[in-house]
Structures are given as structure tokens and as C-alpha cells.
Structure 1
């Protein structure tokens, strides 16, 4: 059975909701899922799963969640060869060019750590709506398909 660890950082609750949707979708695909808040998660524990997911917000003009900075730094130092990852996040289009750049930064951190992209990044404006939920379900499906190969 595949295992997944979904980590989230949230200020408004939107990214916890994104993480919950991903977890439910993965569970429905017969994946054993662990979910945790980013500041309560050690990267070494996170790296024990087959599928690794980060759901994090971007605030102000491209700032990453302060509670996730250590996790982000540690992630880049890991060897995640053979792991499949995905990144999703909620942000605010109001910030224009800075919209959800944390998703891009975590995507780069996973690549630096040698992990394999399992699904295209998902960027959500504010809270997840029906269309976003469909994207997140496809995201989870892509992660499982990639990890199953």
C-alpha cells in the first residue's frame, strides 16, 4: 500500500482545507495518509512516505509562511530520490505577480532534493471551490499514478 504525507501551512484555514481535500482524495485511492501542520513536522518524518505533498500559502508580496521556513530549508537538504511529490496552495490574486509563489518555491525545493514530480502544481485563489476540488482530485490521482509506476 502506498503511503502519503501531506503537510500544510495555513493562516485563514484555506490551505488546511486544500490539504484535507487532497488527503480525502488520496484515501479514496487506497493510499495510507498522514496529515500534519508544517511547524509540527520534521522533514525526516515527512520523507518516510512514498508521496510527499506541501499545501502552503503565500502572503503579502511573495512572502512564504514564516512557520514553514525551517521546513523549507531542511527540505532542500534532503535526498528525496525515489519519492513522488506535489505542491498545492491557496493565495490571493490581488498580489498579481506574487500570486502563490510559495507553491513555486516548494516545487523547486523538491526538485533540488531529487524528488519526482507526480502532478502539476495547483494554485487556488483564496478558498477551494468546485472547480478547484476537481483539480485537487486530479492532482491526487496523478500523484498515485506516478508513485505506482
Structure 2
């Protein structure tokens, strides 16, 4: 199996970037390939070139998508992601009423564009602990092993 995955993330403090790197590690451990891009280096057209898509963002303010992600998010409109396997993740803060809402916003957008969102959004509070880093690695492994079988 050589499931090609793309992780696109926005990170202000480095927490979501750390999640992205750990998920990518899990994808590789499960036999997939992964390209990890900061949102500012990503092109929305890239989403069409991968079997698996993972989008990550921290939640800003009281439940908003990261400012850096807004243009990319709007440019996604009209994309057909039918047949793509997808999931969302992000860092958040449980002290806010809408904990990790950016993850939900990204999951909803992926569904709206026809992607097969195969996992509940992964939400990690603030800086990830060692066990949460392991959870992210397992999330990446799960993504490939359970949902990308038969993808060449």
C-alpha cells in the first residue's frame, strides 16, 4: 500500500504543527506516504492530488477558524473531493465555550465537498502531552490502516 496523504495545518504557537508531525509519523508507520504543509505554503489545488487529506487548525477566539486558514477555506468552495478520505484535527482550549470548533468547521467543509470524513475530529488541548502525541501518531496509523486499504 502506498496511500498518499496530505496534511495542511495552521499553527500559531507550534501546537498544531506538533500534532501534524505526529499524525504524519503514524501515517508513515502504517505504510502510507505523507506531505506536510503549513497553510501559508499550501495550494488548495493540491488537495486533488492525494488519496487522503488531513486539515488541521487551532481554534481562535470563541470558536473561529485560524485567520491564516480563511483564504484557503474559501478557495476550497467548488472543489469536488468525492473519493478522497479525510479527517480534521487541531489544538484548542477547553476554557472556551466552543472547544475546538475550528476542527468541526473543517470536518463540515470536507463533508460538504464530498470527501469521506472517516474519523471524528481530533482535538487536543493546548500543548500536547506525551500521551497525546502518541494519540496523534495512532490517529495517523488508524487513518491509513482502517480507511485507506486498497488505495494505491
Q: TM-score range by the shorter chain?
A: over 0.9
Q: 1:104 aligns to what?
A: 104
What whole-Å deviation, never above 9, does each CA across 1:48-95 have from its counterpart, x for those lacking one? 111100111011111211111111112232100000001110011121
Matches within 5 A, 1:106-125: 106-125=106-125
What whole-Å deviation, never above 9, does each CA across 1:82-132 have from its counterpart, x for those lacking one? 00001110011121x221100000000000000002222111100111332
Distance of 1:108 and 1:63 partners within structure 2: 14
Distance of 1:139 and 1:31 partners within structure 2: 13
Q: 1:80 aligns to what?
A: 81
Q: 1:60 aligns to what?
A: 61
Distance of 1:91 and 1:108 partners within structure 2: 17
Distance of 1:143 and 1:118 partners within structure 2: 8
Q: 1:142 aligns to what?
A: 142
TM-score, structure 1 as length reference: 0.93
Deviation at 1:148, TM superposition (A): 1.3
Deviation at 1:6, TM superposition (A): 0.4
State the Cα RMSD in Å: 1.3
Contact 1:9 1:37 in 2 (8 A): yes
Distance of 2:134 and 2:33 partners within structure 1: 21
Aligned residues: 148
Which structure 1 segments of 5+ residues have no match? none
Distance of 1:17 and 1:125 partners within structure 2: 12
Contact 2:24 2:137 in 1 (8 A): no
Contact 2:22 2:134 in 1 (8 A): no
Q: Determine which structure has the larger helix proportion and give its number.
A: 1
SS state at 2:64 partner:
coil
Matches within 5 A, 1:26-65: 26-65=27-66
